[in-house]
Structure 1
Amino acid sequence: MTVDIFESNLEKYADPQKYDELYNNYKEDLHFIMECAEKLTTPIIELACGTGRVTIPMAEHGFSMYGVDIHEGMLDLAKQKADLANVNIHFSKQDCTQLDLPIKASLIVMVGNSFQHFLTNESQSDLLNSVRSHLLPNGEFIFDTRNPILKDLAFVDEVEETYTNHNDQVVTEINREEYNHETQILQCTTVQKVTVNHVRTTYKDSISLRYTYPMEMRRLLSEHHFELVSMYGSWKKEPFTKESESMIIRCRLL
């Protein structure tokens, strides 16, 4: 597994400030993780930490935090935010399938459906092997991924809308999603056509997201020596059902 494989799938994160503004107020995963980490005194590692949405408030609560991400721009913004919050976090630009940190943790977390960036069986296995090598005995790994709801993935979904953005520019946006049942990968493409003074400029970005089925997830964890502690349908601990949008996975190193 090479860094290039992941870096070719990062177009959606080209503007870290915009990404941060969109998601910074989301707290449900943070509340869940804080509850699980309540009695821990050892360091905590967050993988795919992005702009520090979870890492920074946890550091503010006194946890020793290590944040890892492959996107340098996201990490730069996370470091700026951590400085403003006056917290010390060990940030590192790394490929999560090849972790090389100077510590082992009792808890490793990865949120924001980042698990879906591991597009192949090999990359999923490499991730879990990497996580396992950085966990203390009986350490836990908590992460989320979208639940593959077949009725939503069965057809190509294309939506077009026109709106005026905050700069009073007219924007026509086309979002297209197409699922490949063989690879279990959803290809999401966004095309924006921005009109300024009768001049139209087109922007395009895309992202590939792998879906993993519940029984497939159970087998994957078992094969890599993890015990499934719980699988919820949301960060609010709602029961997991076929209609759940998410799989919230809490597993423990055997």
Structure 2
Amino acid sequence: MKAEDNLEKYADPAAYDERYGGFSADVELILDELPERPARIIDLACGTGRISLPIARNGYEVTGVDLHEGMLERAKEKAGSEGLDIRFLRQDCRHLDLPAPAALVVMAGNSFQHFLTNEDQDLLFESVRRHLTPGGRFIFDTRNPVMSELAEPDHYEEVVETGGQAVREEHTETYDPVSQILHCETRSSDGVSSSRDAISLRYTYPLELERLVRQHGFLLEHRYGDWRRGKFSPESGQMVCVCRLM
């Protein structure tokens, strides 16, 4: 699957902002881990700038990278409305070509799970490594594969409010243990019209992740169970990784 074919969930950037824009735990940790100024920061899979903007507000030179043009346009509008000078670029994170290295690269929102194959993950780490200054850090998160949750197909419904309108969503999630990919489908209806979208997400196991980080020349300084620095355990929902380039 091409990366461009796995972006249906982001078709409406404004709705995405409305649904996820209020999450701040990752922003708080990242702001706490910022290097001394002046420094460059790269925000990968930056979306609508939820993390790029607060970093820039703190006086850093920020480059936001994403593959989705619509998300980038919304990020540019938001930055412009605040007078923030942020460079937003449409690039594939596996093949970054940025003008200068950074002291910190971040990737939040479980975007790491968009890299579906071992080759994709390797290319991402190689790309990040090329764009870090010596001793620079890479902070990212990914969902922890809790087998009790993934073992059986999941089907559930919920009602969410989008644009002041109630929308009923029907979700179906099926995990393939061979590819380690969760295939998710959502059917939405507001009573007048209906739509469907899908996304595929790769799960990486804790020891697998440790080896991946190490083989690309990084030291895994911390692995938290959530963005609030909770202790990582087998039942943790996430792995939040703080890695340093060795």
Give the TM-score normalised by structure 2. Answer: 0.95
Separation of aligned partners in 2, 1:230 and 1:58: 21
Pair 131,167 (structure 1): closer, same or farther in 2 beyond 3 Å: closer
Tell me the equivalent position of 2:169. 173
Instruction: State the alpha-carbon separation in 2 of the partners of residues 45 and 164 from structure 1.
Output: 32
Distance 2:195 2:177 in 1: 28
2:236, 2:201 → 1: CA distance?
17
Distance 1:193 1:99 in 2: 38
Shift of 1:41: 1.9
What runs of 5+ residues in structure 1 fail to find an aligned partner?
none
1:65-102 CA-partner distances (Å, limit 9, x unpaired): 00000000000000000001111001100000000000
Q: How does 1:30-109 map to 2 (within 5 A)?
A: 30-109=27-106
- Residue 148 of structure 1: SS of its match in structure 2? coil
Identical counterparts, % of pairs: 49
Quote the Cα distance in structure 2 between the aligned partners of 1:246 and 1:161: 22
How far apart in 1 are the matches of 2:178 and 2:172? Answer: 19
Q: Does 2:174 match 1:182?
A: no
* DSSP-derived class of the 2:138 partner: strand
C-alpha deviation, 1:39, in angstroms: 2.0
Which stretches in structure 2 are left out of the alignment for 5+ residues? none
Alpha-carbon distance between aligned partners in 2 of 1:237 and 1:164, rounded to the nearest angstrom: 30
2:219 is matched with 227
CA RMSD after TM alignment: 1.6
| 1:159 positional shift | 1.3
Deviation at 1:195, TM superposition (A): 2.5
Amino acid at match of 1:183: S
1:194-217 Cα offsets, whole Å, 9 max, x none, are 433xxxx33110000000000000
**Could you tell me whether the CA contact under 8 Å between 1:40 and 1:106 is conserved in 2?**
no
> How far does residue 161 in structure 1 lie from its aligned partner after superposition?
4.8
Aligned CA distance change for structure 1 residues 179 and 87 (closer, same or farther; 3 Å):
same
Tell me: CA distance 1:14–1:168, structure 2 relative to 1, closer, same or farther (3 Å): closer
SS in 1 for 2:54: helix
Aligned to 1:129: 126
Residues of 2 paired with 1:242 and 1:43: CA distance?
35
How far apart, CA to CA, are the structure 1 residues paired with 2:49 and 2:119?
27
Pairwise CA distance, 1:123? 0.2
Q: SS of the residue aligned with 2:179?
A: coil
TM-score, with normalisation over the residues of structure 1? 0.93
Match of 2:241 among 236, 246, 249: 249
The 1:119–1:204 alpha-carbon spacing in structure 2 relative to 1, beyond 3 Å, is same
Question: Structure 1 residue 40: deviation in Å?
Answer: 4.0
2:35 touches 2:104 (CA, 8 Å); kept in 1? no
Separation in 1, partners of 2:93, 2:47? 13
How many residue pairs align between the two structures? Answer: 246
Match of 1:191 among 183, 187, 191: 187
